Structure 1
Amino acid sequence: MPESSIQRGQLCCVTVSKWWYRVIIHRVINDQEVEVFYPDYGNLEIVRKSWLRFLKWCYLKLPAQAIPCSLAWVKPVEGTWSNAATLLFKKLCGSKLLVGIVDEYVNGILHLFLCDTSTEKDVYFHCVLRDGGCADVCGENIPSQEFKELNPSALYVQPSGKE
């Protein structure tokens, strides 16, 4: 892929372990690497520029499979999510299968409660974040100020209009 095409927001594909994935260039890191967003999975990853290729037209038209999500009924204590809150959230997620309980779908964002049911007692994320002093339970769904930064699918994935 030519260097002139490697810029933020460019939809392309990347090969990783002989598999091809749709990606959107999120930011250029340096001469060799870019951070990409996987619109079908919702994650960010740093990859080599040399792995990028233009995407065939037929794959450009496919809707993204990742859905912008936000935890229901919580907001950060200080207005923005602290590093401690982010680390706690990542620790809670781990590599576990979680149960998501949908509260509502508004403006293209799915607001849900997350629950770890792998232990004898169910663990609700909003309660753990509240009890850890990282979040206030507010009873309404208001995405945080840095929602788009922490959830890049909100930047690139448009709601289908079927709500």
Structure 2
Amino acid sequence: MTSLQEAYRATLYSPLQIDDVQPGNIYASKHKDGKWYRTSVIKVINPGSIAVFYCDFGYYNHLTLQQLIPLQPQFLELPYQAINAKLSGIKPKQSKWTMDDCKFFQKLVLRKSLVSILVSIETDELYKCDKVLNLKLIDTSTETDVHINEVLIRKGIAVLDDTPVTLSNGNN
């Protein structure tokens, strides 16, 4: 992050044209906090609205063309530090996860030694150029392993998801 800030400190404007911006490519962008971050373009809507993913912090935003700068090659070497993932084999008992469900999940996993088993990689439903890892999470911080999916089902906030899992290498 320090090197990224140094490299872009004097940058005042973007040399990019709208046709230069490609979904899936990574750029530098200046955030409202004044710092530069690596951002992956999800979709170009128009010059005033480009959907991006902050690939090292895990959140989405909309930027303007003027906020994107070509990323210097040395900053492409580091893989994403934030990735999209979901629990495999379960879904919320209700139509979507509630705030209480999320708080319970956070309590289950926060500051725990977790092992994840990669079940599959799929294309994000909303952002087609993004991938989502389907994971099984296991808490190994105690003598007996705790399978997070099973805890959520026992608690009554999740049910088994009988949707077939498509095995993928992430290149589809």
Provide the TM-score with structure 1 as the length reference.
0.57
**What's the CA shift for 1:53?**
0.3
Which stretch of the first structure deviates more once superposed, 66-75 or 97-106?
97-106
* Structure 2: distance between partners of 1:94 and 1:50: 39
Are residues 1:98 and 2:110 paired? yes
Q: Which residue, 62, 75, 84 being the options, matches 2:78?
A: 62
Are residues 1:12 and 2:12 paired? no
* Structure 2: distance between partners of 1:4 and 1:55: 16
The structure-2 alpha-carbon separation of the partners of 1:28 and 1:71, relative to structure 1 and needing over 3 Å to count, comes to: same
The structure-2 alpha-carbon separation of the partners of 1:4 and 1:20, relative to structure 1 and needing over 3 Å to count, comes to: same
Q: Which residue, 149, 155, 159 being the options, matches 1:136?
A: 159
Q: Find the counterpart in structure 2 of residue 151 from structure 1.
A: none
Alignment of 1:21-100 (within 5 A): 21-75=37-91, 82=95, 85-88=96-99, 91-92=102-103, 98-99=110-111
Q: Find the counterpart in structure 2 of residue 111 from structure 1.
A: 135
- Larger Rg computed on CA atoms: 2
Structure 2 unmatched ranges of 5 or more: 1-15, 122-132, 140-147
What is the count of residue pairs matched by the alignment? 131
**Counterpart code for 2:160:** V
Q: Deviations over 1:65-115 (max 9, x none)?
A: 2244222541356xxx94xx1454885389988246324134563624499
Provide the TM-score with structure 2 as the length reference.
0.54
Q: Secondary structure at the match of 1:65?
A: coil
Of structures 1 and 2, the one with the larger relative CO (CA 8 A, separation 6+) is: 1
Aligned residues with identical type, % of pairs: 23
Q: Find the counterpart in structure 1 of residue 152 from structure 2.
A: 127
**Counterpart code for 2:110:** L
Q: Deviations over 1:15-60 (max 9, x none)?
A: 1122111111101233312110122222211222211100001112
Contact 2:53 2:59 (C-alpha < 8 Å) held by counterparts: yes
**What's the CA shift for 1:5?**
1.2
Which stretch of the first structure deviates more once superposed, 7-16 or 89-98?
89-98
CA RMSD of aligned residues (A): 4.1
Q: Find the counterpart in structure 2 of residue 2 from structure 1.
A: 17
The structure-2 alpha-carbon separation of the partners of 1:93 and 1:34, relative to structure 1 and needing over 3 Å to count, comes to: farther
